Amino acid sequence: MDLLLAIQNLNVSYGAVQALKGISLELNRGNIVAVLGSNGAGKTTLLKAISGLIPIRSGNVLLKGKNLATILPYQRIVYGISHVPEGRRVFATLTVDENLNLGGYGVRNQPMGKEMNKIKEWIFELFPILKERRRQLAGTLSGGEQQMLAIGRGLICKPQILLMDEPSLGLAPIIVQEIFRVIRQIHQEEKVSILLVEQNARKALSISNYAYILETGKIPVQGKPEDLKNDERIRAAYLGGNKIPRPLTRS
Contact at 8 Å (CB) between 209 and 34? no
Tell me: the pLDDT tens digits for 16-35? 999 999 999 999 999 999 99
CA 233 to the chain's CA centroid: 25
Residue 251 has what pLDDT?
Answer: 36
Q: What is the DSSP string of 199-251?
A: S-HHHHHHH-SEEEEEETTEEEEEE-HHHHHT-HHHHHHHSSSSPPSS-----
Tell me: the pLDDT tens digits for 30-68? 999 999 998 889 999 999 999 999 999 999 999 999 999
Average pLDDT, the chain: 89
Residue 199 has what pLDDT?
Answer: 85
- What is the average per-residue pLDDT within 143-154? 93
Residue 190 has what pLDDT?
Answer: 87
Look up the CATH number of domain 1-80+160-167+192-242.
3.40.50.300
DSSP state of 95: B
Which residues does residue 25 pair with via DSSP β-bridges, in sequence order?
Answer: 7
List of E strands, 29-85: 32-36, 58-63, 66-67, 81-84
Q: Is residue 244 predicted with pLDDT exceeding 70?
A: no
Tell me: the pLDDT tens digits for 162-208? 999 999 988 899 999 999 999 999 998 888 999 999 988 999 999 99
Residue 246 has what pLDDT?
Answer: 47
Contact at 8 Å (CB) between 169 and 177? no
Neighbouring C-beta atoms of residue 28, cutoff 10 Å? 15
Q: Is residue 241 predicted with pLDDT exceeding 60?
A: no
Give the β-pairing of 17-28 and 3-14.
antiparallel
Instruction: Give the model's confidence band at 83: pLDDT under 50 very low, under 70 low, under 90 confident, else very high.
Output: very high
Distance CA 79, CA 70 (A): 13
